[in-house]
Amino acid sequence: MLQIKNLSVNVGDKEVLHDISLSIGEGETHVLLGPNGSGKTTLLMTIMGFSNYVITKGQILFKGEDVTKMHAHERAQRGIGMMFQRPPTISGLKLGKMLTAISRTKEENIPELAKTVHMDRFLERDINKGFSGGEIKRSEVLQLMLQNPDFVMLDEPESGVDLENISLIGTTIGGLLEKDKHIVNRKKSGLVITHTGYILDYIDADKGHVMCDGQIRCHGNPREILKEIKQRGYKECLECRNP
Amino acid sequence: MPEPVTIPELSNEDKERLAQVGMDLTKKNRCGTFLQMDQDIVQAECGETGIEVLSYKQAIEKYDWLKDYAWKNISKEKDDITRYVAAQNDPKGYVIIAHKGSSNVMPIQACLYLGKDKIQHVHNIIIAEEGAELHIISGCASGSHAGKGGAHYGISEFYIKKNAKISFTMIHNWSEDIEVYPRSASVIEENGVFLSNYVCMQPVKKIQMYPTATLVGANSVARFSSIVVSTPGSTMDLGSRAILEAPGASAELVTRAITKGGTIISRGHINGKVAGTRGHLECKGLILKDGVIYAIPEIEGSVVGTELSHEAAVGKLAKDEIEYLMSRGLDEDEATATIIRGFLDVKISGLPDALQKQIDASIDVAEKSGF
């Protein structure tokens, strides 16, 4: 589904990601762990195609196609989607209008869909304006439901969310990633940034990666890695120079 | 069914221009019509009980008391425009009176069309008597063939009596060679509400206006909303002023301005003269192409207990907002148009659906041409 080959990325004059390689197969969900500022969000924003993240070296292949030089909308149209941790507030643009724009010609019943994530009362509100942490996540997941991407990136889906909302958001994300389907029939893939691991209760991640200082330092079973990090922190990861 | 307005000498293109400013020639969704083409009064009628739409001349002849309203709100000596209109022997324009307790669900349409004349002058008086509710859409347009220059001088005096409400939605569709000088003032009595909405998305050579609302009654309300786009060669000097003279009076002045190369001067002034008054002034501007947006918000409080605020922001479209929408599959142009559309989306509480739809339709036309 997604292949990243020797990717280096600059933000401004500074190289933030160094020689990253990563492969995520069809139906797989991977978890990205790492301390604050290690480059996790930068990697997601780069995969999504945001222009502030300049690829200086390497390639991104999506479903076998080189998308390295494509704009964000071209990547989105090919099936890449992202749940943002801190999406911008757009003054005047109503959530409902944005959903209509996303849905294009699809005949979705937006109010009904919004109800499923308790966002029906927000359709006439400016997008993200005054939204709580949980409301932002529910708005993001609602947009993704309409977009229905094949590859879903989630940037800390549980941050700022209470337990009740984590269950709702986690279950919905599980649906987006076809976790309700048998593993052999699963076509959707994902890459999830998490600090707490709460989301793993809903999405059964296949693989974990630890990112430090803009590099992927190690790979493994996501729950085991998380357990290690919870016990020992990132000290050893930071010291590890041989991924 | 009302008889449709017949104006055979208008081309289909010009009929379309009138439609864009809210003139419904079929009159299906309007309860009354006033149409003045250059200096000719084509129609003045209203089918709503208790509401009259008259030409200025008819009204002055019919109601002697109207002289107590004419030029009481605006001085004849205010400037060259008022002096010019006051000097006319044959005054034009309309008088709309909503008698005590009357109301209209379907709005009245008032259309001022400038075709061949060098100057079109009008003097309008709008009165909502006690407890009345009056909704007016005022569409002003010039003919597509004009091309020779021209000017519109318009005096409008509004009187909103106790517990009355007027919504006045003005949509302009002039052309590059037309100058427009509205002079407008309103007096709002106890519990009265005045909603004044202005939309101009099309080119104009120059427009200059600074309507003033004087809130003399307790708990009276004035809301001015302006949505304007300025194209190269257009100078739009716009403003609104609210003078809060009674306890509980409140005013809100909201402007959304976009320049695509033209000049917009966005003025605003709220004067809180007594305690227990509130006012907020907001101007947001977007510079899509090099032009000028000059926001001049003024708030003036002279007593303890008046609460006034303003916010003004002028800038460009934020890249992170555009890319956020692009990450949902919209291309850059679609994302930009969607954000601009949101920026201009000023929902006006208390405005009938038909009028909000007309405002939205004006923005739709601009959106289709890529703003």
What is the ipTM, given to two decimal places? 0.94
Ranges in chain B, pLDDT < 70? 1-2, 5, 7-8, 144-147, 370-371
Question: Could you tell me the CA-to-CA distances from B260 to B171, B236, B341 in Å, in that order?
Answer: 19, 12, 15
The owner of tokens 């801190």 is: A86
Give the Cα-Cα-Cα angle B163, B166, B167 (nearest 5 degrees): 140
Q: In this structure, what token pair is assigned to residue B114? A: 């400038």
Q: Do B323 and A82 make contact, defined as CB atoms within 8 angstroms?
A: no
B211 within 8 A of B187, measured Cβ to Cβ: no
CB B203 within 8 A of CB B161: no
Contact status of A62 with chain B (Cβ, < 8 Å)? no
How close B65 comes to chain A (CA, Å)?
45
Question: Do A50 and B338 count as a contact with CB atoms less than 8 A apart?
Answer: no
Query: Among candidates A160, A237, A189, which has minimal Cα distance to A31?
Result: A189
Cβ distance of A73 and B321 shorter than 8 Å: no
Cβ distance A48 to B330 less than 8 Å, yes or no, reads no
Question: What tokens were used for B172?
Answer: 């302009």
HEC letters along B331-361: CHHHHHHHHHHHHCCCCCCCCCHHHHHHHHH
- Best of B317, B324, B347, B356 to substitute, by most chain A Cβ atoms within 10 angstroms, is B324
End-to-end CA distance of chain A: 23
Listing DSSP states for B114-141 in one string gives: ESS-SEEEEEEEEEE-TT-EEEEEEEEE
Task: Name every residue whose Cβ is closer than 8 Å to that of residue B265 and which is 6 or more positions away in sequence.
Answer: B235, B236, B237, B238, B239, B292, B294, B296
The whole-angstrom distance between A203's CA and the closest CA on chain B is 22
Pairing relationship of beta strands A2-11 and A14-24 according to DSSP bridges: antiparallel
Measured between beta carbons, the chain B residues lying within 8 angstroms of A101 are: 325, 328, 330, 334, 338
Instruction: Provide the token pair at B93.
Output: 């324009």
Which of A93, A143, A152 best tests the B interface by mutation, with the highest count of B CBs <10 A? A93
pLDDT recorded at residue A105: 61
- What is the distance between the alpha carbons of residues B51 and A97, in angstroms, rounded to a whole number? 38
HEC-encoded secondary structure of B268-300:
EEEEECCCCEEEEEEEEEEECCCCEEEEEEEEE
- Does this model's pTM top 0.90? My answer is no
pLDDT per residue of chain A (243 residues) written in tens, 0 to 9: 999 999 999 999 999 999 999 999 999 999 999 888 899 999 999 999 999 999 999 999 999 999 999 999 999 999 999 999 999 999 889 999 999 989 876 667 899 999 999 999 999 999 999 999 889 999 999 999 999 999 999 999 988 888 888 889 999 999 888 888 888 888 999 999 988 888 888 888 889 999 988 999 888 888 888 888 888 877 776 666 554
Structure tokens at B82: 């008022």
Architecture per CATH, A2-239: 3-Layer(aba) Sandwich (3.40)
Please give, rounded to a whole number of angstroms, the shortest distance from the CA of B158 to a CA of chain A.
30
Determine whether the interchain pair B328/A143 forms a contact, defined as Cβ–Cβ distance below 8 Å.
Answer: yes
User: Any bridge partners for residue A15, and if so which?
Assistant: A10
